[in-house]
């Protein structure tokens, strides 16, 4: 009972000291040009707390709680040192816990900011898919409509589905591999309208898990690149060959397209490939991404560990 009473009375010194030290740290210690003033205030706080601590112990606790007849000197050296150590321990413990919690919150805030930055960059990369195919497709659909072609309505529908995904689906963190494949197939079908028999396209797929997730719009820039810098710039019969494979969460995508043998055409591949490279770096830990140009073809190889 006596010990409880003593601890309760000493809380009247300890609690205000802790909260006053919090106030001093927040107002002075975090500001470089006010650091000295903060140190002075902390020393004054510790001195005042120690004196009050010793006065309560000597004048009240010992006489009223423990009923000691002989009064004790409040400023007795060894007792003052003990009081200072007691208060310093409490001071250090309370501020240490507070700093740790503050550090954890700051770290969480930094992680959230980094996540937002990554999401912003990813959304920007996804929005950079060249819209030239839209204008080409609309022109092709217009030409089909003039001929009253039976392909007009399906072409409009596929364009609508593709644009709907670009507007609403590209913001997702991931989509199924089946959705990404359908997106690529719709894009190929739309682009193929204007080539007739001049372009040979093969798309081989081997997928053991159609629900496996992949970041959206990762493959479309590669296919778009093949059309833009391959088929559209070829003066002879062109080809695009695609092979996609997913087995045991190991994803591979190989694309080969015909190109003209000139330096200007080769340099045009850069933006789309850099876009994909950056998306891979932001999303995946284990991946392989390489491309090379031969005499009459451009080859892209992509491998991702989806585990």
Greater confidence (68 vs 180) lies with: 180
The token pair at 229 is 């810098």
pLDDT in tens, 92-128: 888 788 888 888 888 887 777 777 777 776 666 666 6
More confident residue, 40 or 76: 40
| pLDDT at site 66 | 52
- Bin 181: left if φ > 0, else alpha if -120 < ψ < 50, else beta: alpha
Say if residue 263's pLDDT is above 80: no
Name the nearest CA neighbour of 22 among 112, 87, 109, 91: 91
For 3, the token pair is 């010990």
Residues 217/123, Cβ–Cβ less than 8 Å: no
pLDDT for position 213: 94
Distance between CA atoms of residues 282 and 121, nearest Å: 9
Give the pLDDT band (50/70/90) at residue 251. Answer: very high
Of residues 7 and 39, more confidence is placed in 39
pLDDT at position 288: 95
* 229-258 average pLDDT score: 86
Over the stretch 8-17, which tens digit does the pLDDT of each residue have? 667 777 778 7
Least confident stretch, 161-175, 192-206, 214-228, 293-307: 161-175
- Closest C-alpha among 146, 138, 227 to residue 188: 227
Mean pLDDT of the chain: 80
Give pLDDT, residue 125: 67
229 contacts 265 by C-beta, under 8 angstroms: yes
For residue 291, pLDDT over 80 is answered with yes
Query: What pLDDT score was predicted for residue 268?
Result: 47
Tell me what pLDDT residue 242 has: 96
Residue 74 has pLDDT above 70, yes or no: no
E strand segments, the chain? 175-176, 199-207, 213-214, 238-247, 250-258, 287-293, 297-305
Residue 71's pLDDT is 59
The C-alpha atoms of residue 290 and residue 300 are separated, in whole angstroms, by: 6
Q: Please, which residues have CB within 8 angstroms of residue 93's CB and are 6 or more apart in sequence?
A: none
**3-class state of residue 245 by DSSP:** strand
Task: Name residue, tokens 């391959």.
Answer: 230
pLDDT of residue 267: 47
Average pLDDT of span 155-169: 82
Contact (Cβ atoms closer than 8 angstroms) between residue 133 and residue 224: yes
Dist. CA 263–CA 269, nearest whole Å: 11
Domains of the chain: 2-123 (no CATH), 129-305 (3.30.565.10)
The pLDDT of residue 207 is 95
* Mean pLDDT to the nearest integer, 45-71: 69
CA distance 150 to 129: 29
Whole-structure pTM value: 0.60
State the Cα angle at 173 between 172 and 176, rounded to 5°. Answer: 80
CB contact at 8 A, 23 and 65: no
pLDDT band at 18 (very low <50, low <70, confident <90, very high): confident
Alpha-carbon gap, residue 307 to 304, rounded angstroms: 9
Q: pLDDT tens across 185-196, in order?
A: 988 988 887 776
Task: Give the rounded percent of residues in the chain with a pLDDT score beyond 90.
Answer: 19
What number is the average pLDDT over the span 207-230?
88
Q: Are the C-beta atoms of 259 and 296 separated by less than 8 Å?
A: yes
What would the two tokens of residue 71 be? Answer: 């009064």
CA distances from 199 to 41, 53, 126, 151 (A): 81, 91, 27, 18
């Amino acid at each position: 009972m006596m010990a409880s009473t003593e601890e309760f009375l000493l809380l009247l010194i300890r609690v205000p000291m802790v909260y006053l030290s919090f106030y001093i740290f927040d107002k002075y210690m975090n500001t470089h040009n006010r650091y000295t003033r903060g140190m002075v205030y902390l020393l004054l706080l510790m001195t005042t707390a120690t004196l009050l601590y010793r006065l309560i112990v000597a004048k009240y606790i010992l006489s009223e709680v423990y009923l000691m007849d002989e009064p004790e000197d409040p400023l007795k050296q060894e007792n003052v040192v003990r009081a200072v150590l007691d208060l310093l321990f409490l001071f250090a413990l309370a501020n240490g816990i507070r700093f740790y919690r503050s550090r954890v919150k700051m770290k969480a805030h930094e992680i959230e900011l980094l996540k937002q930055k990554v999401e912003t960059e990813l959304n920007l990369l996804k929005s950079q898919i060249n819209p030239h195919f839209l204008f080409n497709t609309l022109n092709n659909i217009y030409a089909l409509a003039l001929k009253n072609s039976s392909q007009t309505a399906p072409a409009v529908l596929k364009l609508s589905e593709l644009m709907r995904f670009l507007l609403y689906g590209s913001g997702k963190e991931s989509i199924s591999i089946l959705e990404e494949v359908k997106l690529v197939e719709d894009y190929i079908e739309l682009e193929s309208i204007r080539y007739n028999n001049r372009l040979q396209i093969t798309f081989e797929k081997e997928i053991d898990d159609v629900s496996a997730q992949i970041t959206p719009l990762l493959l479309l820039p590669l296919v778009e690149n093949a059309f833009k810098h391959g088929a559209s710039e070829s003066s002879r019969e062109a080809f695009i060959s695609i092979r996609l494979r997913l087995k045991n969460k190991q994803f591979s995508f190989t694309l080969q397209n015909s190109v003209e043998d000139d330096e200007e055409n080769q340099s045009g591949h850069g933006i789309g490939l850099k876009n994909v490279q950056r998306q891979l770096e932001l999303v995946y830990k284990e991946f392989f991404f390489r491309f090379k140009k031969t005499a009459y073809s451009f080859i892209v190889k992509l491998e991702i560990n989806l585990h």
